[in-house]
Each structure stands twice: as C-alpha cells, then as structure tokens.
Amino acid sequence: MARTQFSRRTVVGAAAALAAGLAGCSGGSTSGTSEAGGSSDDADADGSGSAPAFEGYLSNASNYDGIVDETGNSEVAIAVGAEANGGNWGYGPAAVRVSTGTTVVWEWSGRGGPHDVVAEDGSFSSEQMNGSGHTYTQTFEESGVVKYYCTPHRTLGMKGVVVVDG
C-alpha cells in the first residue's frame, strides 16, 4: 500500500486555506452589540437595508466588524490607538451608532505613536497627541453619518464612523 507524505508547508497551507474558507462562510458577528458582520460596509445607516452606510469607507480598517449600538447612552468612549491594521493604528470600536445629543469621548491609549481625530467633512479636529491620558470630545446634535480618520495613520486604515440617529 502506498503511503502519502505531507510536508509541513503542505499541511500549513491547507490549514490556512481551510481557515480562510471558514471565515468567508461565517457571515455575521458573534457579538450581541454589532449589527453588521464581516468586514464590509453593507450595513446601512438607518437600518432599512436600502443603502450602504459608509460606501466602503472602513474597507481597510481591519478591526471593523459592524456597528456597535450605543444608542440611549449620553456618553460613549472610543479608544484611540486600538489594536488594528497590523499595530495599534485603529479606533475601538471602528463604528458606533449613537443618539442625537450623545457626547463621544476619544481616549488615547498611548500606543501606536501620535494620533488625532479629524472629521472627513472638516467639522471637527483634535490636536495630534502622543501618550495615554489624552481625550477629545465631540457632541453630535444632528443625525447622519460622520466619518473621521487619524492623519498620520489614515492610509493604514485608521478610520472610524459615528452613525447618529435622530
């Protein structure tokens, strides 16, 4: 009887292919706070399923796994320098849903170098800061989708979205 031999490379390659295949089949998120699973921006801003919320804006943010629902909270914290994109170049969570009147507080973790928080539409901008303990706050009074980024790490995928419900 012939015996088949497998090299370490063959076994590791097959395991990686299997893992990638299973990840592609998993579909939704296992977290109870996320509305959209996977790493696409297929979730819509108003929950109707009619249009993409951010039109691929977070497609290169490796830690985006859906919109975290924080509606009803008067204040919401987002970590700056969260683990993402091959280092500490992310916002955590990458996307949140809040109610109008909610104050979002970005809190610097002290990891990943200097960061800032800059709205795509220019409506707000923090200073670039390095180290932990820094915060920047913004209160959202109008409903809509607000996209923001970190200037030094934007091309790495350090971007975020706040979906504000009326």
Residue-wise pLDDT tens digits, 79-133: 999 999 999 999 999 999 999 999 999 999 999 999 999 999 999 999 999 999 9
Residue 2 forms part of a structural domain: no
Q: Which domain holds residue 87?
A: 32-165
Question: Rounded to an integer, what distance in angstroms lies between the CA atom of residue 1 and that of residue 139?
Answer: 73
Domains of the chain: total? 1
The mean pLDDT value for 144-162 works out to: 97
Provide the token pair at 23. 């990840």
Paired sense of beta strands 159-165 and 95-99, if any: parallel
At 153, which CATH number?
2.60.40.420
pLDDT tens for each residue of 91-105 = 999 999 999 999 999
Q: How far apart are CA 144 and CA 163, in angstroms?
A: 6
Instruction: Give 54's pLDDT tier (boundaries 50, 70, 90).
Output: confident
Question: Are the beta carbons of 146 and 123 closer than 8 angstroms?
Answer: yes
Q: Which helix H or strand E contains 10, and what residues bound it?
A: helix 8-25
